[in-house]
Each structure stands twice: as structure tokens, then as C-alpha cells.
Amino acid sequence: MTSEIVIDVANVSKRYESYSTPQDRLKQAVMPRLYQTGASLGIVKNKKPIYFREFWALQNVSVQVHKGETFGIIGRNGSGKSTLLQIIAGILTPTSGNVIAKGRLAALLELGSGFNPEFTGKENIFLNGYILGLNQTEIQQRYEQIVEFADIGDFINQPVKTYSSGMFVRLAFAVQAHVDADIVIIDEALAVGDIFFRQKCYAHLEKLKESGTVILLVSHSMNEIEQHCERAILLENGKPFFLGSAVEATKHYYLLHQPSGQETQQSTTNQLVSKQHTQKINTKKTDIWDDNSIFVNASKLKQVSNHMAKCTRYALCDNSGNPCTRFSQGDVAVFYYEFLLLQSIAIPLGGIVIRNDKGIIVHGKGSLEYDVDISSEHFKAGTLIRCQQAVTLKLQPGEYSFELGFASIDSKTYKEKSFLNHDELFGQIMRICHLPDAGILSVRMRTGARTGPQLTHHGIADLPGKFGFAFSKYDEKFLLSQPTETSST
């Protein structure tokens, strides 16, 4: 990365006009002109009529990107990421502000843009190449490289409308990657390809980066942003929420994904690290719940309940008691969650569920499976039930959501649980309260002091197991005694 500025976005805003009815749109086209005529004649003195509602997709966004920099743009859905990219690419015109983008630009914004579904892959390579500014000779010189990179075999001679989404993005990216662009824009396009294609793409992006190409990357995978970007901007409701290092930006992204019931919030965007992420929790049993600043206030969050109890607050920490949402493989995550009884119950049960990005439950376990000893058999209304659950995150790197649950079971069944089968035991459980979207945590590869990032296992989870070798001397007589295969004609 050099000091040369390739992209300069200065105080950019984008406004859209939202009309309730077609009649309002017509009025807006006609009435302001009539008003202007009446005002010039001194007939009209009222305010200029407006028949639409304003929606600001972007407000006062400023950022500079330097030559050779890979820059991330992150935010929740509807935060303005795609709008900003389209303005930089010249597809949209800003309502106010200025954008300067120096050099040839290749934008992978929407699958299908610049492609004719009736044309073959080969024909679309030339069509898209022309659109991107290449001439016939330049496309022919790059054709074999594009086909090799796309790696879609004989489908290159088939109509694009017969392609799968993965094949489509392979071809689209292959063309964009070979136009010698000064700026490459990628908006979630690589999420469609398989892992091997993504690896090939990112390896190619590294080559582009070394040659001084600017790369703008939009992704909901914070691991990708951390790995490939030096800096990033975090957008929230069309406004810049954070601009700085990619690692810090992803931290603030996870903060935004915490529910709105957070008890401790920052009032300014210049002080984004909230108190809950700087103070340690005291792990003594007597006062572990005293530090209220680390907890999320659950009173205003969505809860599925039978009105016998409600979740009041919860926290996610590392094994040292620090509030944390980002872990390495093998780290221990400690969940603290509290329920207030609104009615009396027998034996309380608490537990968590962890899901991956596909919604698959990768872990679900509670106090019943841990065989917790509970001294009392009756808990009155007004009692606070506090749960502490530690989980070793031997999971595949990625993002996970977690849920909190609370239930009850009668004391007789609880005492006899070791003699009951699964259906008999779980058939007696009364579900009381459930937080379906409590929060998000991420797991990344463990980093060694000398080796850098290391993968501890392959697949979704690290299953307990053992491995051993056995060695013996090779016996040629045994091999010679084996029957040989013969072929007949």
C-alpha cells in the first residue's frame, strides 16, 4: 500500500423519495412547478409542497483508499454497503458529496450484470470484455486464461442460462479478474463459489494487490475481512459508525449484532468500545453477578415464554472472565444467564444451543445433561435463577448464533432420571422461556507464536479420539504368496 489515493469519497449522501401512491408521484412532478410560478407572481406564499417521504440510504460518508490497499465495507443488511459501492462504481449518482475513482474499474456487484443468458459462456466473455473496456485483441489474448480460471469445462460452449449459480460466478469473476483493473469491487459475489474456487480467487486478489490494485470487499464473513483487509468502514443505517483497522471494525460489527437491550451503550461514535468490553467479571461465586455493566439487559428482547419466568440478563465471557464474542478454536466460552421466576416451579433447568450459519445445531446441552445436583425441590415466585455454563469451542472457524433456554421438571422424575430413557425423561420437561436470538460469537483458527494460524481439525466439530501407529517388518514371502490378477481376452 502506498500513500497515493485512488478512491476519494467526500461527504457522500444518497437520498431516495418514497411515495405512498402513484397520485403523490404525479403531484410531486406537477405541483412544485405550479408553486414556483405562483410564488414568482406573488400569489402563493406557503411552503413548497412535498408529497414524498425522504429515505437516506447514505449520509455524510467519507473515506479514502490508497493504491494497493484491500479495503473492507461491512454492516448489517440495509446499512448502505451496496449503495456506497454502486456510487463508487458510477452506477448511482450521489445526492450530495463527491467521489473520485482513478483508473479502470471492475465491479462484481450483481450476478448477471453484463451477461446475456442466451449467449454461451464464450460469447459472454467477449460481450463482458467489451463492456469492461477491452478490445477484440485484448480479449483474445486473455481468453485461455479466463477459461482456465473459470474451470467450468465444456459448459463454456453452453448458454449461460443453463449454468448453476456457482458456475456463473466463476465465469463472471474470471472475466473481471483479467481486465487489468486499477480498482476491483466485490460485493458478496464469492459467497456463491465453493471453498476451492474462493481460495483461487483470494490468491489472485493477493497478486492484484501486490501489483497496486485497489480491492473493495463487502462480506458478512468477518473472518474474511480480518484476513484480507487492512482497513474497513462499518456502516449503520447509512452512516459511518467506525473507520479504522479491519480487526477493530469487526469487533464493532459484533457489538452492533448484540440485541438492542444492551444495558451499557456509547453515546458517540468516537468512543465505540463500551464499558462491557473493558471490565472483567469477578469469577468468585459470591459476587460473580455484581458487575451489571457486562450483562445484556434481556427485558426488551424477544422471548418465547409461558409467563412462568422471564430472562432478565445474560453475558458471554472468555475463561478469564473478560466479556468476549471472538474466540480461537479450543477456547472456553462461559455463558452467564439469569431468569426471574414469575410463578413457583419445581426443579429448574437451563441450557444453551449453538447454531452455525446454516442454522444447524452444532451443540445443545443443559443442566440435565450435566447432572447438576440441586438441593431444593421447590422455588418460589420472585426467585432469581442464575446459570453459568462453560463450553469448549472445538468448532470449525466461522460465525455462530446462540440461544438460551429455561425449563422445569418435577422432583420425582429428576431423582429417577438415571433409570429413564430419553423419551420418558424429556417428555416430563416443561419449557418455560426461550431466547431464540440471544447473540453471536465467532471462532477463528488458533494462532501459534511461531507458526501463525493453525487449523486444529477439519469439519464442523473436533470429536474426542485417539490415534496410534503400529509398525512391522515387511515380509516379501507374504507378498509373493498372494494370488495375482490375470486378464482374459
Single out the residue of 411, 401, 404 nearest to residue 388, CA to CA. 404
| CATH code where residue 162 lies | 3.40.50.300
Judgement on whether residues 295 and 185 belong to the same structural domain of the protein: no
Tell whether 341 and 248 lie within a shared domain.
no
Q: Are residues 44 and 187 in the same domain?
A: yes
288 and 246 housed in the same domain: no
* Local structure of 250: helix, strand or coil: helix
Last residue of a domain, one of 254, 289, 314: 254
CA–CA separation, 185 vs 368, rounded Å?
A: 50
Q: What is the mean predicted confidence (pLDDT) over 391-404?
A: 93
Whether residues 220 and 314 share a domain: the answer is: no
Q: Which three cell numbers stand for residue 226?
A: 480480518
Question: Same structural domain for residues 93 and 203?
Answer: yes
Mean pLDDT along residues 242-254:
84
Residues 333-371: tens digit of each pLDDT: 999 999 999 999 999 999 999 988 877 889 999 999 887
For residue 375, being part of any structural domain is answered with: yes
CA triplet 302, 80, 61: central angle to 5 degrees?
A: 125
Grid coordinates belonging to 9: 469519497
DSSP H helical segments within 151-265, as ranges?
Answer: 165-176, 195-210, 222-228, 246-256
DSSP string, 404-454: EEEEEE-HHHHHTGGGS-HHHHHTT-EEEEEEEEEEEEEEE-EEETTTEEE
Instruction: Assess whether 11 and 109 both reside in one domain.
Output: yes
For residues 335 and 214, membership in a common domain is answered with no
Does 235 share its domain with 318?
A: no
44 in a structural domain: yes
How far apart CA 459 and CA 461 sit, in angstroms, is 6
Binned at pLDDT 50, 70 and 90, residue 111 comes out as low
Give SS3 for 171.
helix
b/e per residue 100-135 (b: at least 16 CB within 10 A): ebeeebbbbbeeeebbeeebebebbbbbbbeebebe
**Residues spanned by the domain of 159:** 5-254
Coil, strand or helix at 377: coil
> Could you tell me the CA-to-CA distances from 443 to 327, 356, 447, 463 in Å, in that order?
5, 11, 12, 16
> Which of the residue ranges 30-44, 320-334, 377-391 would you say has the lowest mean pLDDT?
30-44
CATH of the domain at 422: 2.70.50.60
Q: Does residue 100 lie within any of the structural domains?
A: yes
- Report the alpha-carbon angle 246-247-252, nearest 5: 95
Query: Are residues 342 and 226 both part of a single domain?
Result: no
My answer on whether 310 and 204 are in the same domain is no
**Of the candidate ranges 180-184, 251-255, 389-393, 429-433, the one whose mean pLDDT is the lowest:** 251-255
**Do both 37 and 76 map to the same domain?**
yes
- Residue 148 covered by a domain: yes
Split into its structural domains, the chain has a count of 2
Tell me the per-residue pLDDT of 18-36, one tens digit each, with 9 for 90 and over: 888 888 788 777 777 777 7
Mean of pLDDT values over 135-154: 91
- Grid coordinates belonging to 87: 456510487
